Amino acid sequence: MSILNSGFQNLNCQGQLIDLSRPKIMAIVNLSPDSFYHSLDPNNSDAVLRYAEKLLGEGADILDFGAMSTSPGSGEIDVELEWRRLEKALHRVRKEFPDAIISVDTYRSFVAERALEAGANIINDISGGMFDPAIIELVAKVKAPYILMHNRAKALDMQKHTHYDNLILEVYDYFTEKIHLLSEKGMVDIVIDPGFGFSKTIDQNYSLLKNLEVFKTLNRPLMVGISRKSMLHKTTGGTPDEVLGVGTALHFNALLSGAHILRVHDVAEAVRCIRVFERYSKA
């Protein structure tokens, strides 16, 4: 029996459709010098363009640009600096690749608005509107797809907020309430992300991964972002550079549990993982 994803036809990116009947790959493009793994110089737009070309050539379906690190313990930067890091890169990539689907990883309405004006298609908000409620109004107005992540606090303090009486139930309830709120504002294309590493301990991350199937009943596309994260390298005793293999294994597990989008650093490996998953699913 096939276990390929079903129930979701597409995401509508202002007329461009992302078909979710097969898993998709979101490629991470870091423009922040303090990202935990692989950063690009935002002032070198040629290098950013070459990297985007590489990712798309390897099979990325979505490019996710982020200009401020949100790893646990990271501090905020000035909103104008965040936009400056993004601006030239977005304009260059959109001009060179007019059909590329571009996501911007930000929780600030100022940045999101300018990114959408520059040609971004999707807003990826780690706060679910908690840090800047105006971002919800903006995305609802332009009808852009919205990635809704579970989180409890900003990066500097998020690991102080890891107590749950029932982790899975509380994350599920969070999504239920947020989806209701967003739907009331007319938002249709909502992707849910459990927020691995955000206000979660390593054990809680694995519990989430083990129980991903619970979130199928929310009837929304599910994105999983575990690439190179500490839940992998702290478990293995290695570094982010050394966990591609185990990360790919867990990506396969996430696909088995119903993930529609894998958010990754390593596109070529994710493409191979999905090919094997599809063959396995049809056996």
CA distance 23 to 38: 24
How many degrees, rounded to 5, is the angle at CA 216 between CA 211 and CA 219? 155
Residues 6+ apart with CB under 8 A from 265: 27, 28, 37, 38, 227, 228
| DSSP letter for each residue of the chain | ------S--EEEETTEEEE-SS-EEEEEEE--TT-SS----TT-HHHHHHHHHHHHHHT-SEEEEE-S--STTPPP--HHHHHHHHHHHHHHHHHH-TT-EEEEE---HHHHHHHHHTT--EEEETTTTSS-THHHHHHHHHT--EEEE---S-TTTGGG----SSHHHHHHHHHHHHHHHHHHTT---EEEE--TTSS--HHHHHHHHHTGGGGGGG-S-BEE--TT-HHHHHHHTS-GGG-HHHHHHHHHHHHHTT-SEEEES-HHHHHHHHHHHHHHHH-
* Residue of 125, 132, 84 lying closest to 104 (CA atoms): 125
Q: Which residues are catalytic?
A: 229, 263
